[in-house]
Amino acid sequence: MWIPALIVLLFIGDRAGGWVLEQMTKSSNFRYSRMYYQNADAEILLLGNSRGLMFYQPEVEKLTNKKSFNFSYNGMPIQMGSALVKDYLDKYEKPEILLVDITCADRNNAALIAGMSAYAPVSQRLQDLIQEVNPTAAGAAKLTHLFRYNSEIWQRAMRYIKGSDETWLNDREINQFMIDKATVEKPLDFTFSSEKELNPADLMNNIKSLVNYAKSKDIKVRLVVNPYYPPFFNRSNGFENWKDNVEKIVGQKVNDYSTALNDPKYFTDYQHCNKLGSIEYLKLLKRDGLLD
């Protein structure tokens, strides 16, 4: 007797809880909530992983006088970015520019992709992607609606339940401890070793597919490499080769700003600029015509 009662209670509680969490997600000011449930019209689209947050939106809009929308998210792999941008292009008026920091195509991140379950009910592309990279999570999200919201991405949506996320950026200065360790830290590796679970062909094809999709909609696509902290980045492995591969496969120039900024005051850590650095970097992009 108690087992049927438990099943009924489990189901009702799960669906009721899921519904409440869905309403909260819809009302958030977080980028993907705005994009899927509200209005996110923009003329400039910005894409990257956490390094894509260097496309500091208030400054982009100040320099260009154009509305921007940033898809970037910590650790975002290109497959996820590609699905999001394509969803956007299907839903909204065509923007002018798509600016992509291609270093989001240097790794996979199945856990983060699974975390997009909160938005999967309104995106077939996300559903397919989650099913492809993490079928167990896809199945679990169908079984229990509470599980859909068990992710950092949803927590981030709750973080922006009130305020805007357009100023999202780590704004502190790199500390002396990190500066001292920059030359002994494990270097970045762009050589796609199997231990990183990378499939280089897949990643490259995803950039290519995204670029072609955007171009088919008559959008100007700009590929860039955002700045790294040079003493750290100069020890990385295989970067030039990797960048050449991207250019060859995608058939488009990559604008390399990896060592464009030198002063430690521009960085929050080895891979991210702070607000000051981001503003400086965006000025370079403007100077070089990449925001026009």
Which residues sit at the interface with other proteins, rule CB under 8 A?
1-2, 5-6, 9-10, 13-14, 17, 74, 111, 136-137, 140, 144, 146-147, 149-150, 152, 155-156, 159, 168, 170, 172, 175, 177-178
Closer to other proteins at the Cβ: 196 or 217? Answer: 196
Closer to other proteins at the Cβ: 150 or 234? Answer: 150
Alpha-carbon distances of 240 from 76, 199, 201, rounded to whole Å:
22, 18, 17
Closer to other proteins at the Cβ: 63 or 146? Answer: 146
Residue positions counted in the chain: 292
Closer to other proteins at the Cβ: 82 or 151? Answer: 151
CA atoms 113, 114, 115, 120: torsion sign = positive
Q: Distance between terminal CA atoms of the chain?
A: 68
Q: How far is the CB of 147 from other proteins (least distance, A)?
A: 5
Q: How far is the CB of 150 from other proteins (least distance, A)?
A: 5
Closer to other proteins at the Cβ: 159 or 220? Answer: 159
Q: How far is the CB of 88 from other proteins (least distance, A)?
A: 23
The token pair at 13 is 């509680």
CA 130 to chain centroid: 16
- How many C-alpha atoms does 156 have within 13 Å on its Cβ side? 18
CA 100 to CA 119: how far, in whole Å?
A: 22
Q: How far is the CB of 156 from other proteins (least distance, A)?
A: 7
C-alpha closest to that of 81 among 253, 208, 243, 210 = 210
Q: How far is the CB of 172 from other proteins (least distance, A)?
A: 7
